[in-house]
Amino acid sequence: MRMREPEEIVRATSDDAHDILPLMVAFNQDESIPWRPEVMVPALHQLLTDEKLGIVLIARSAAGASLVGYSLATFGYDIEFAGRDAFVTELFVDSAARGQGLGRRLLQSTLEQLRQRGVNAAHLVVRPENQRARALYESHGFEVSPRILMTKELTPGES
């Protein structure tokens, strides 16, 4: 039996961290990202308590008892986009709640929250083979950039 659409999508607070963590573990597993709770859990707590860093939205089940999805977006600043931009770093829907439009609603809510906070552009990354997610993002106006994303983790004392 499929779950109904969630009753609400709301901004998460630090009280929600415990409930978000199992979904984060599942997201990282689905994306083949090593789960490093020693650094990721404190980073989540910091994001939940400092709204200057970004936003976390959660989707509750219709009964309100459990979380069925979440999104994380963090703020940046870019001259190309005339100021504040954001990176949608995670958007995840529990497998039991997929196929009902929750991902679409969660993305719409995330983008609206970003607009309300003066964000001029939103970025995200998606695995090329994840056609379902790509179709969702493209339906909301995301385009493949002519640039590639490159990352370097910065550690203290390293050059």
In a domain, 159, yes or no: no
CA distances from 25 to 22, 30, 54 (A): 5, 9, 20
Domain containing residue 17: CATH number: 3.40.630.30
Q: Kindly compute the dihedral angle of the four CA atoms of residues 13, 95, 99, 18, in this order, to the nearest 10 degrees.
A: -10
The pLDDT of residue 64: 67
Domain for residue 86, yes or no?
Answer: yes
Q: pLDDT tens digit string along 56-105? A: 999 998 776 789 999 999 999 999 999 999 999 999 999 988 888 999 99
**6 pLDDT more than 60:** no
3-state secondary structure of 121: strand
pLDDT at position 4: 54
In a domain, 48, yes or no: yes
Residue 51: inside a domain: yes
Return the pLDDT at 10.
Answer: 95
CA distances from 56 to 2, 66, 148 (A): 25, 16, 26
The share of the chain scoring above pLDDT 70, in percent, equals: 94
Domain that holds residue 52: 8-139
Q: Are 101 and 138 in contact (CB under 8 A)?
A: no
Residue 146 lies in a domain: no
Query: Is residue 87 in some structural domain?
Result: yes
Give one word for 101, left, alpha or beta, with left for phi > 0 and alpha for psi -120 to 50: left
- 104 occurs within a structural domain: yes
Residue 1's pLDDT band, with cuts at 50, 70 and 90, is very low
pLDDT of 105 reads 95
Q: Tell me the longest C-alpha to C-alpha distance in the chain.
A: 54
Whether 106 is covered by a domain: the verdict is yes
